[in-house]
Chain A
């Protein structure tokens, strides 16, 4: 039996009929068409589907769409403002902090969340803050460098 959910995603309200078993990750990708949130494992190990729900970092494969009812979700598509990239996105480009790009949206959401909580993290704190997101390509060196560059530039207000 489908249920109605009202979820605000990147500032826009969506009212949709969903199966109770639909994961938030599939809701974002298939129901409302935001394919920047990727799926790499659906059991919360890889972090490719990481989004922010009411400002908290969430692996969207570990949450049902119905659990997001009434909540505000930010995905990778909601970070840039107009034509201006978000400072974390800009820093990832400057530092080649991606290769295939599949982990990148989740990694950037995690980095943004970390920098909101801790505007100037040490390398160890960056590594700890991103430890829920796997990247198979980069060896993380340039990702860590990107987060260092973005530090202090993220609005944590």
Chain B
């Protein structure tokens, strides 16, 4: 291919770049690194859900010769500063100082109270037991409804005067009118429980500090370098910070937020001891204290016309945010990303209430509030269908945004770039032969076999806008940024190979493979000669606010910056080659890493020859051009306006691209045991132009499997005292190959109108509609019993109870 063609290798299942190291045990994760003189740290954690810390005596620990440093609440208070409130705490009426560790109180089981650095981990663990903490135990608050009723057992933050820490409203259109003019109002109360994607690699960090140059280096498995960078600066008042992120053993959002606490305290241990310090979280610690997806309660009302049109949606959301104020609104705010899902409705009102409880703080987890928003929509649409005695798919078809309306602006300001939602739904119904399926269901019911079909649809937003939260907090003093910025560097080396350096880390999404495919087409080389350098290193990576293995950012910001950097490098290659070959750059062609002058087969230069000229031979370079063949490009989304920064109308582009998927779940429920078996799970998905189908399919399979497992029982369970009962993966209910259904995927892409390749996101995707699909299918199976599915999870015990209650 002579012309720069970013599409040349797009759509191919190119051989994985990460594969060879990962399948041979040569992946390099944080725990695989050691440093000279390195110590091991362990954390002292609260055994209580709620208690005042009256005193900590660490003298015995400090006097041990093999202990190099101890951090107590007193040290935290003296040697660190609190974190800045951040975008999710901007709504607090009174500022609350949140430090990296507990200072006056503990607010959840497992909250870090102190830490020890010793020569080895076993010693550090032994020493923990010699630290005496004097606690005054306080009543635990675990019930959001009590807090809403003003019946707090005790105050978690005295400053707030109540455990209902925040409330706010978002309204778009005229919901009052929609409800006044509705033929009927359909209501439901819904709930999603606490869960997590439980990455297999726990949180990990190695910190070292050079006290003479005042440089702090941390190697950690965070998904977002900025969070660590800002946290270290804020807490330790150090400016020269280097964040290195090696291979990450799964993220899913779990390694974005609370990890900063641990990195700060491990860094403090390194500063105090003068030694590098490593900390590796254990599984129980992860389950207790690394963060959970939020328990969300929804009171939902839809304003409906008798033909099935939904004219308005109102919901009240109560979030159990756990024992921290730093992610107070994260699940509510994320509802802005898919507030109207795939539907035309113009009038939406959301009332958010965030309640602090004595449970683990909530954090981002695959889709954050979006699975909840999709659950609200898809459950209420099913309910509307039942109320009107219509088929649920008919109600959906009635309300879907139509392909000819694209690009489509939603009432809250999102702009859907492209999509054929009716087409996705139609294809999904065809694939399962819906009418035949309903007949089979009727036949089997006669025999006492309960099959259920759930058909749902959801958008998958991609590419985060940093200004989103200002829609809720227009008075926010310190803005969290806006739009998105991230970069990439490309270098043609002296041997003719190409080295890429990305601005963001990767935790299993094949960034190395995919970016090489795109760059190869532009540069006119095979992807085989391109390698991506890891680990991420903030000292050299071109990173910005969108440098996040989060927010479905990769397809937009990383691919955008690779295209920019590769295009600039190509231009430079042509300029230098044109000068050497005495030809116009525009006349040159590049194929297989060789620049040629068409019609003159002997006038050519290989990339290796060009590299040698560019780095070694000044006399060969054209005047007015920088030497070297390296380019760095920072990408910003060129279509970020309008609605990048919310105005008085609070309309904002929460994200910038919108994929979608129609999901069909076919289940069988055994009414004697309540056990649900997924017989078939099908997704017809629009992920825009697919760069690597093997990679994209993997993201869809994995996110669907997690959403299905969440719906069917995976989750965290607390007792009334705030003790976590599910501290192992088995108790938590993690699914193996034996319990996980096979997921089928068919692609029906509508390429994005806004991105260079038409690409959209594929990371969070199927985790968004899948809980709703399962709920819908189980309810459909149990229709003869009159069971309604409102609350997740659907454990066998819970399903069995629902059947008993319905029959009573």
| Chain A interface (Cβ < 8 Å from any Cβ of B) | 19, 21, 29, 34-43, 45-46, 48, 75-77, 79-80, 85, 89, 92-93, 95-96, 98-105, 108, 126-128, 130-144
In the complex, which residue of chain A has the Cβ closest to the Cβ of B34? A30
Q: Which residues of B contact A127 (CB under 8 A)?
A: 737-738
Residue interface bits B233-262, CB-to-A below 8 A is 1, else 0: 000000000000001111110000000000
Instruction: List 10 A-B residue pairs with CB atoms under 8 Å apart, sorted by A's residue number.
Output: A21-B122, A36-B25, A39-B280, A93-B23, A98-B19, A104-B23, A131-B738, A132-B736, A134-B736, A138-B702
Q: Which residues of A contact B29 (CB under 8 A)?
A: 35, 38, 102
Cβ of B508 within 8 Å of any chain A Cβ, yes or no, is yes
Known contacts A45-B728, A96-B694, A99-B509; is A80 also within 8 Å of B201 by CB? no
Known contacts A93-B15, A96-B697; is A144 also within 8 Å of B22 by CB? no
Q: Which of B192-200, B445-453, B485-493, B574-582 forms part of the interface with chain A?
A: B192-200
| Bound: A45/B731 CA distance, A | 10
Most chain B CB neighbours (cut-off 10 Å) among A40, A46, A141, A142: A141
Q: In which size bucket is the chain B interface? A: 35 or more
| Bound: A115/B248 CA distance, A | 29
Q: In the complex, how many angstroms separate the beta carbon of B118 from the nearest chain A beta carbon?
A: 15
| Bound: A92/B27 CA distance, A | 15
Interface residues of B in 1-34 (CB under 8 A from A): 13, 15-16, 18-29, 31-32
In the complex, which residue of chain A has the Cβ closest to the Cβ of B196? A136
Partner of B704, one of A108, A133, A139: A139
Q: Could you count the A-B residue pairs with CB atoms below 8 Å apart for me: how many are there?
A: 176
Known pairs A93-B19, A101-B27, A136-B250 / 9 extra A-B pairs, C-beta < 8 Å:
A38-B29, A40-B249, A40-B283, A45-B728, A101-B247, A127-B738, A136-B200, A139-B743, A141-B705
Q: Which residues of A contact B250 (CB under 8 A)?
A: 99-100, 102, 136-137
Q: In the complex, how many angstroms separate the beta carbon of A63 from the nearest chain B beta carbon?
A: 17
| Bound: A63/B734 CA distance, A | 23
| Bound: A37/B29 CA distance, A | 11
In the complex, which residue of chain A has the Cβ closest to the Cβ of B19? A93
Partner of B728, one of A39, A43, A126, A128: A43
Contact B728 A139 (CB under 8 A): no
Residue interface bits B386-418, CB-to-A below 8 A is 1, else 0: 000000000000000000000000000000000
Contact B740 A85 (CB under 8 A): no
Secondary structure of the A contact surface, majority rule: loop
Partner of B249, one of A76, A79, A92, A101: A101
In the complex, which residue of chain B has the Cβ closest to the Cβ of A108? B23
Known contacts A126-B737, A139-B702; is A101 also within 8 Å of B729 by CB? no
Partner of A134, one of B200, B509, B510, B742: B200
In the complex, which residue of chain B has the Cβ closest to the Cβ of A96? B694
Partner of B24, one of A39, A40, A76: A76
Q: In the complex, how many angstroms separate the beta carbon of B32 from the nearest chain A beta carbon?
A: 4
Q: In the complex, how many angstroms separate the beta carbon of B787 from the nearest chain A beta carbon?
A: 28
Q: Which residues of A contact B247 (CB under 8 A)?
A: 100-101
Contact B25 A99 (CB under 8 A): no
Residue interface bits B496-512, CB-to-A below 8 A is 1, else 0: 00000000000111100
Cβ of B698 within 8 Å of any chain A Cβ, yes or no, is yes
Partner of B25, one of A34, A93, A133, A139: A34
Q: In the complex, how many angstroms separate the beta carbon of B247 from the nearest chain A beta carbon?
A: 7
| Bound: A115/B571 CA distance, A | 51
Q: Which residues of B contact A35 (CB under 8 A)?
A: 25, 28-29, 31-32
Partner of B742, one of A19, A79, A95, A141: A141
Contact A134 B701 (CB under 8 A): no
| Bound: A40/B778 CA distance, A | 33
Contact A102 B698 (CB under 8 A): no
| Bound: A65/B19 CA distance, A | 30
Q: Which residues of A contact B737 (CB under 8 A)?
A: 126-128, 130-131, 133, 140, 143-144
In the complex, which residue of chain A has the Cβ closest to the Cβ of B744? A141
Q: Which residues of B contact A34 (CB under 8 A)?
A: 25
Closest CB pairs A-B (n = 3): A36-B25, A139-B705, A102-B249
Partner of A41, one of B26, B283, B698: B283
Cβ of B730 within 8 Å of any chain A Cβ, yes or no, is yes
| Bound: A99/B199 CA distance, A | 12
Contact A141 B743 (CB under 8 A): yes
Q: Which residues of A contact B13 (CB under 8 A)?
A: 96
Contact B283 A99 (CB under 8 A): no
In the complex, which residue of chain B has the Cβ closest to the Cβ of A41? B283
| Bound: A2/B26 CA distance, A | 30
Residue interface bits B187-211, CB-to-A below 8 A is 1, else 0: 0000000000111111000000000
| Bound: A96/B283 CA distance, A | 27
Q: Which residues of A contact B738 (CB under 8 A)?
A: 127-128, 131
Residue interface bits B675-709, CB-to-A below 8 A is 1, else 0: 00000000000000000001101110111111000
| Bound: A127/B18 CA distance, A | 25
Q: Which residues of B contact A19 (CB under 8 A)?
A: 122
Contact B698 A100 (CB under 8 A): no
Cβ of B584 within 8 Å of any chain A Cβ, yes or no, is no
Q: Which residues of A contact B23 (CB under 8 A)?
A: 76, 85, 89, 92-93, 98, 101, 104-105, 108
Residue interface bits B309-349, CB-to-A below 8 A is 1, else 0: 00000000000000000000000000000000000000000
| Bound: A45/B705 CA distance, A | 19
| Bound: A46/B736 CA distance, A | 9
Cβ of B79 within 8 Å of any chain A Cβ, yes or no, is no
Q: Which residues of B contact A42 (CB under 8 A)?
A: 282-283
Q: Which residues of B contact A37 (CB under 8 A)?
A: 25
| Bound: A85/B22 CA distance, A | 12
Contact B24 A136 (CB under 8 A): no
Q: Which residues of A contact B199 (CB under 8 A)?
A: 100, 102, 136
Contact A99 B729 (CB under 8 A): no
Most chain B CB neighbours (cut-off 10 Å) among A21, A36, A103, A142: A36
Q: Which residues of B contact A29 (CB under 8 A)?
A: 31-32
| Bound: A137/B743 CA distance, A | 14
Q: Which residues of A contact B703 (CB under 8 A)?
A: 139
Known contacts A42-B282, A102-B250, A134-B736; is A95 also within 8 Å of B694 by CB? yes
Contact B249 A100 (CB under 8 A): yes
Residue interface bits B647-687, CB-to-A below 8 A is 1, else 0: 00000000000000000000000000000000000000000
Contact B200 A103 (CB under 8 A): yes
Partner of A101, one of B202, B508, B728, B730: B508
In the complex, which residue of chain A has the Cβ closest to the Cβ of B729? A45
| Bound: A122/B730 CA distance, A | 26
| Bound: A95/B742 CA distance, A | 15
In the complex, which residue of chain B has the Cβ closest to the Cβ of A100? B508
| Bound: A127/B197 CA distance, A | 21
Q: Which residues of B contact A133 (CB under 8 A)?
A: 736-737
Contact A77 B736 (CB under 8 A): no
Known contacts A36-B24, A96-B695; is A45 also within 8 Å of B730 by CB? yes
Q: Which residues of B contact A93 (CB under 8 A)?
A: 15-16, 19-20, 23
Contact B19 A43 (CB under 8 A): no
Partner of B702, one of A76, A99, A101: A99
| Bound: A101/B16 CA distance, A | 12
Q: Which residues of A contact B508 (CB under 8 A)?
A: 98-101, 137
In the complex, which residue of chain A has the Cβ closest to the Cβ of B249? A102
Contact B698 A142 (CB under 8 A): yes
In the complex, which residue of chain B has the Cβ closest to the Cβ of A124? B738
| Bound: A85/B15 CA distance, A | 14
Q: Which residues of B contact A98 (CB under 8 A)?
A: 18-19, 22-23, 508
